[in-house]
Structure 1
Amino acid sequence: MTDLPKQRVDTPTNFPPFEQPCPIRDVLDRIGDQWSLLLLESLAPGRKRFSELGREIGDISKQMLSRTLKQLEQDGFITRTVYPEVPPRVEYELTDLGQSFRGPMQALVQWADANHRVIVEARNRYRGLD
């Protein structure tokens, strides 16, 4: 039996690190949180200021609004533009990536709206509340 030279085998540790190895879970973790879809939906018609977004969403704290906007900007869904005015004006809008998500987002929103009653009824049956 001859000894073959050992070859390097690439394993996931040889590749650049990702926060999440599963692309589906990685993306759904972001857009599936409590606020991201609502903010993306709110920005679909066009750019808005921080205060406008806060009023539209209603029950989101300023801290959570700021954090979610930063995460969406980090992931490339939105852009943040600061205007050199006094007081400073900041506007947010969807990027091309954010715009490309509008179709799937609308389908999800419509599906959720059409099936919400059925889902609530199933939850109640499961809990014995029907």
Structure 2
Amino acid sequence: MDGIIKGQREKNENYFKLQQSLLLKSSLDESCILNQSLTLIANKWTLLILMALMQGSKRSSELLRQIKGISPKMLNQTLKILINYGMVVRTVFPEVPPRVEYTLTEFGISTADPLMALLNWSVSWEPQLTKLYKQTF
């Protein structure tokens, strides 16, 4: 019971912190940190790659199999961007043939909670979102 109360208290505190942050930034414009964050990571492939890497280190071929529809070129471009952001690290193993794996950094792992919240929201509203997607695209 104490764990449930503590969890609810933490959610309330986080909500309060969010509200305070939004009040401090009176106008929601392109300089808003939320907009900047979304501009950096909120695209189709970036989110899917982050979600796939939440499961652990993966090779390019594993990511290509797991993320349906992504081309090798787009995967490599997006991984390079995530490496430049400091969200993913590329490890080359001294083997023959060479083996390369991609792993989330601490910064990359920090996206887990927001991504899970987005995933939960998407699942909860799946019928409406599917209908809207079909109407839009």
TMscore range, shorter length: 0.7 to 0.9
Mapping 1:90-109, distance limit 5 Å: 90-109=100-119
2:38 to 23, 28, 48: 28
SS in 2 for 1:48: coil
Counterpart of 2:62, as a letter, is: E
CA RMSD of aligned residues (A): 2.1
Distance in 1, matches of 2:131 and 2:97, equals: 49
1:87 to 89, 97, 110: 97
TM-score normalized by structure 2?
0.69
Q: Which runs of 5+ in 2 are unaligned?
A: 1-29
Distance in 2, matches of 1:78 and 1:56, equals: 17
**Displacement, 1:114?**
1.2
Q: Which runs of 5+ in 1 are unaligned?
A: 1-19
Q: Which residue of 1 aligns with 2:87?
A: 77
Counterpart of 2:113, as a letter, is: G
Q: Structure 1 or 2: larger helix share?
A: 2
Change (3 A) 1:92 1:123: closer
Which is further off, 99-108 or 23-32? Answer: 23-32
